[in-house]
A = this chain, B = another copy of it.
Amino acid sequence: MRPLKKEVRILGIDDSAFDKFNDRTVLVVGVLFRGGEFLDGVLTTRVSVDGSNSTKKLADLITKTKFRPQIQCIMIDGIAFGGFNIIDIVRLHDATGIPVIIVMRDYPDIPKIKRILKKIGMGPKARLLEKAGEIIPVYPKSPKDPEKNVHIQFYGTTRERALEFVRLSTKRGNIPEPLRVAHLIGQGIILGESRGKA
């Protein structure tokens, strides 16, 4: 396997803040990065809060952008946008032909998420969590610093390649740059000022 080029194009995607009682949709921000270095473009769409259209909305966003031929990896901050609008990463890969990596800060409490989905009448969505495959830890710097790791699920590439995409694009802290920046933009646009987590 040839190593990835340092400036391989990665599309990082995150949703932004929303009011779960009043907003019907949430802003989704995609940023095209050259590795972890330069921002080349910004894309936006909206998905419904707790809806089921995130996979289709992302597939449309990616297949229609002028940046499409350059994108070699789709990196997503968490498997759901707008609450429980869960992404089907197998379908997203099939629709785009591009490897998909879900990045999570913490190891998700799957049994708890399943209980909540059942309780709010969205039990069948739980299968999308399984469909996204094994959850594996990534140590961007070193396994000796386990508190700084992230977890991923991926589809459409090998485990080694998925780890390489995450490590290559992580420059500060433990969050890959395309996701750190997508998060800051979403916060800045919706809240007027970015803050916190990343």
Contacts and interface: CB of A to CB of B under 8 A. Distances in A.
A188 B29 contact: yes
A90 interface: no
- Number of identical monomers bound together in the oligomeric complex: 2
Nearest to A29: B188
A197 interface: no
Nearest to A67: B193
B43 A193 contact: yes
B185 A42 contact: yes
A158 interface: no
Interface string A9-42: 0000000000000000000010100000011111
Given A66-B195, A195-B66, A189 B42 contact: yes
A142 interface: no
Interface string A176-189: 00001100110111
A194 B41 CA distance: 6
Contacts of A69: none
Contact of A184 (B39, B184, B187, B193): B39
